[in-house]
Structure 1
Amino acid sequence: MKLSRFGYYFLTLVILTAVSIYSCGQQSQPTVTNAEKDIFNSTTNDTVTIENDSLEYEVIIIDPGFNTWLQSIARPRGFYSQQFLENRNIQFVNEWNRRVMMPQTYNSNLYEMQINYTSDIDYGYEVNYQIYNYFIYFQRKYNQRLTGFIPRI
């Protein structure tokens, strides 16, 4: 069967469209290093308390390995601006809270309770830094995506 010039172009367009749609549907996963895998498999109690005394704000993270990951893998303090951290945190928190409200769709062992975080409060750099890094840690450890951003370090 011989295709006309139009048929050839149309067939090429269909194939390219199919490949593009397939490629867009493939979600990239972050590359997790062996050092991270070791930390993720840790069972040592590694509790981190995030607090801002002046706001009477406290978050306790009980996820084995997070403190070790924060100290050894995460970007250092000062790498990101506070505004960057706040912008990402509000996105992460909104998606997290949405998932908490949908236990039939999302694993309720991962998304247990809502996070009370609002953009109109200045939590300070340290609180934002640690919360942001916990979200990155969480996404990498449990292979989750809270936003369209690939959780990179």
Structure 2
Amino acid sequence: MIKKLFAAIAICSLLFICVVGCNSSKQAIAISDEEQKAFQQVEGDTIEISSDKTEYEIIIIEPGFNYWLLSVARPEGYYSQSFLEARNQIWVISWNQRVLQPNQFNPNLYELQIDYRPDIDYGYEVNYKLYNYFVYFQRKYRQRLGTFTPRL
């Protein structure tokens, strides 16, 4: 009798953990009206990410990103460069893996690999804009490039 009761409690506990764990990972990201306005832009933005100190640049052609960057994203200086670099490294690896798997991930979203190397100092501006593009991309297209929710 005690063994059956213990087994029933263990099963209920396991089910509870699974239900709570599954629900917490699927929480909807709150999208503000301003952010929704950026996501609905249809006119193409072209953003050039470069640094005067380095020879590296990224060109992003994404409707609404510039509007989002100016109206929704945290201002430059909010995050440290080391924080931005750490997130960018994780997200670039995930991005590049998805580019190489067009049967599993939408090739219209993941078109080109990003050549981002951790041994190169790209400067604050490049890391800031790349980080924010990843946040914008994940929020707009409801993608997850890492284990953490992209935050504003």
TM-score under structure 1 normalisation?
A: 0.92
In the alignment, what sits opposite 2:48?
49
- Aligned-residue offset at 1:49: 0.6
In the alignment, what sits opposite 2:72?
73
Aligned residues: 150
Report the Cα distance in structure 1 between the residues aligned to 2:127 and 2:147, rounded to whole angstroms. 20
Alignment of 1:13-52 (within 5 A): 13-26=10-23, 27-52=26-51
In the alignment, what sits opposite 1:117?
116
Contact 1:88 1:132 in 2 (8 A): yes
Report the Cα distance in structure 2 between the residues aligned to 1:81 and 1:126, rounded to whole angstroms. 11
AA of the residue aligned to 1:10: A
Matched residue SS, 2:27: coil
AA of the residue aligned to 2:89: I
Give percent identity, aligned residues only. 47
Report the Cα distance in structure 2 between the residues aligned to 1:97 and 1:124, rounded to whole angstroms. 21
AA of the residue aligned to 2:98: R
Report the Cα distance in structure 2 between the residues aligned to 1:89 and 1:8, rounded to whole angstroms. 49
Q: Deviations over 1:73-105 (max 9, x none)?
A: 111111110000000000000000000000000
Matched residue SS, 1:85: helix
In the alignment, what sits opposite 1:93?
92
Q: Which runs of 5+ in 1 are unaligned?
A: none
Greater Cα radius of gyration, structure 1 or 2: 1
In the alignment, what sits opposite 2:132?
133
Q: Deviations over 1:117-139 (max 9, x none)?
A: 00000000010000000000000
Contact 2:47 2:61 in 1 (8 A): yes
In the alignment, what sits opposite 1:105?
104
